[in-house]
Amino acid sequence: MRLKFEKRAEPSRFMLYATPVGAVLLTMLVGAIIFTAIGYNGFGAVYQVFIAPLALSYKWGDIAVKASPLILIGVGLAVGNRAAIWNIGAEGQYIVGALAGTGIGILTKDMHGPWILPLMLVAGMVGGAAWGAVPALLRNRFNVNEVLSSLMLTYVAVHLMNQLVTGPWKDPMGFSFPQTALITADQMLPILVPGTYVHLGIVITLIIAVALWFLMSRSLMGFQVRVVGSAPSAARHGGFSQKQTVWLVFLLSGALAGLAGIFEVTGPFQQMSLGFPQNYGFTAIIVAFLGRLNPLGVILAGIVLAITYVGGDLAQSVLQLPNASKGIFQALMLFFLLASDILIRYRVRLVGAPAPAAVPARSPAE
């Protein structure tokens, strides 16, 4: 008796949506077994990482704050990945967007008015889009692989940030500490729930995600992106330009990553500091795939990842679980998701099973 993978005539829509859920459940089960096997309270660990953040109402705000940048970057990446154009450099676009917005913040620190915050947000999008434009230009003009160029530009962005924050943008009253001055009241995102960091950016993020879902499923732009990704030659015949799509993808995902960056500055961080890059741009790649490159799925996936961050810290302080446990859970999740992808295009069948003696033999009914 053995298992056989059999190609499906059409990808299974059921499996497309069932496998992410299955991956999360398998992660919880296998995580509990692993941590029990090495001597921890395995089920307690799973409870703290996945359930406790949901059970404790005062953690909901934390989840929303943590999920927001993951979702905003994730929906941008989902669009690009649909077109099979790979922006690995969202982290850099996130940083440069934050820097561009912070630059406006520093220029306007002695000014007042309701126009300052919107200007910072626009600058954030422009900054992110500009950083994303570089790999797009290199790809279209010189055929440079965008995976490498966008990834490497992330490190350039980190150094640019280090240079600004330890140098000219350093808080003049800050004892030479490498961080900018706190932003002013006119530069802060409105807080929606007093006493938390639940800010207006979270609502804007959700609106953008839903709008992108609509665009991707109902508009010509969405159709173009999907056709370029799934059938490049058909796209050429249909008159859809590959180059134009590259521009669209990088400018859009860059702008959204930049917006996420400036949301973080004007929301939770309230300044730029060396600790600003939190790898949201890389984690959002997991979020995009876990959400099946569907903007609505990305919202759910962003929330799941945010729960593991918030819960990972709880597991550490409540159960004294090692910090690495958070990473183990996140890695398990991606592993199971990628492994179970095969079920979308293939079905599993038992073949050559010798009939058990007690049961009458049956031919495999298909």
Partner 1 sequence: MIKLNRRNFIGGAAAAASLPMMASKATAADPLKVGYIYVGPINDGGWNTAHEAGRQQMLKALGDKVQSQYVENVPEGPDAERVLRDLYNQGNRLLYATSFGFMDSAVKVAQAYPDVTVEMCTGFKPSSNNNLSNYNIRFHQARSIFGTMAAMLSKTGVGAYLGTYPVPEVISGINSFTIAARKVNPNWKTKIIWINTWFDPAKEADAARALIDQGADVMTQHTDSPAAVQVCESKGVPTFGQGSDQSQFGPTMCKSSSLDLWGAFYTQRTKAKVDGTWKPEDTYWGFKEGAIDIAPIVHVPDDVKAAGEKIKQGWIDGTYDCYAGPIKDQAGNIKIADGAHATDGDILGMNWLVEGVDGSLPS
Kindly tell me the burial class for residue 175, based on how many C-beta atoms sit within 10 Å of its own C-beta (0-12, 13-18, 19 or more): exposed
Distance CA 80, CA 3 (A): 35
Phi, psi values for residue 174, rounded to 5°? -105, 25
Residue 40 engages partner 1 in binding (rule: CB under 8 A): yes
Residue from 17, 43, 60, 223 touching partner 1 (CB under 8 A): that is 43
Exactly one of 27, 47, 98, 108 binds partner 1 (CB under 8 A); that residue is 47
**Among residues 34, 130, 182, 204, which is the contact residue for partner 1, using CB under 8 A?**
182
* Interface residue with partner 1, options 208, 268, 282, 340 (CB under 8 A): 268
Residue of the chain from 148, 271, 282, 341 that contacts partner 1 (CB under 8 A): 271
Closer to partner 1 by Cβ: residue 146 or 171: 171
* Three-class secondary structure of residue 350 per DSSP: strand
> Contact between 193 and partner 1 (CB under 8 A)?
no
One of 16, 22, 34, 41 touching partner 1 (CB under 8 A): 41
* Window 300-329: contact mask with partner 1 (x via CB under 8 A): ---------xx--xx-xxxxx-xx------
Q: Which is nearer to partner 1, 25 or 211 (CB)?
A: 25
From 183, 179, 160, 154, select the one nearest 169 (Cα to Cα). 179
Q: If binding is defined by CB under 8 A, does position 214 make contact with partner 1?
A: no
DSSP state string for 207-226: HHHHHHHHHHHHSHHHHHHH
Is 168 in contact with 35 (CB distance < 8 Å)?
Answer: no
Residue-wise burial string across 284-304, b where 16 or more C-beta atoms lie within 10 A, e elsewhere: bbbbbbbbbbbbbbbbbbbbb
DSSP 190: P
Listed ranges 184-192, 200-208, 273-281, 344-352: which one lies at the site for partner 1 (CB under 8 A):
273-281
Single out the residue of 176, 239, 360, 363 in contact with partner 1 (rule: CB under 8 A): 176
Tell me the window of 164-172, 215-223, 254-262, 336-344 that interacts with partner 1 (CB under 8 A). 164-172
Sketch the per residue contact string, 60 through 79, with partner 1: x for CB under 8 A, - otherwise. --x--x--------------
> Which region among 8-16, 90-98, 165-173, 228-236 touches partner 1 (by CB under 8 A)?
165-173
Work out how close the CB of 43 gets to partner 1 at its nearest, in angstroms, rounded to a whole number.
4
Cα angle value 273/275/277 (rounded, 5°): 105
Binding to partner 1 by residue 239, rule CB under 8 A? no
Which CB sits closer to partner 1, 38 or 361? 38
DSSP state of 362: -
Phi-psi domain of 346 (left: phi exceeds 0; alpha: psi -120 through 50; beta: other):
beta
Our CB check for partner 1 shows the closer of 107 and 324 to be 324
274 belongs to the binding site for partner 1 (CB under 8 A): yes
- Cα torsion 105, 262, 196, 207: sign: positive
State how far the Cα of 260 lies from the Cα of 285, in Å rounded to an integer.
14
Bridge partner list, 349 = 4
Residue with tokens 């030659």: 233
Contact by Cβ (8 Å): 163, 100: no
Does 339 contact partner 1 by CB under 8 A? Answer: no
Q: Does 121 bind partner 1 (CB under 8 A)?
A: no
Under DSSP, is residue 24 helix (H, G, I), strand (E, B) or coil? helix
Please give the size of the binding site for partner 1, defined by CB under 8 A. 50
Beta pairing partners, 7: 346
Comparing CB distances to partner 1, the nearer of 211 and 324 is 324
- Asked if residue 185 binds partner 1 (CB under 8 A), the reply is no
Q: What are the backbone angles phi and psi of residue 201, rounded to the nearest 5°?
A: -60, -30
Residues of this chain that bind partner 1 (CB under 8 A): 36, 39-44, 47-48, 51-52, 55-56, 58, 62, 65, 159, 162-163, 166-168, 175-178, 182, 195, 197, 264, 268-271, 273-276, 278, 309-310, 313-314, 316-320, 322-323
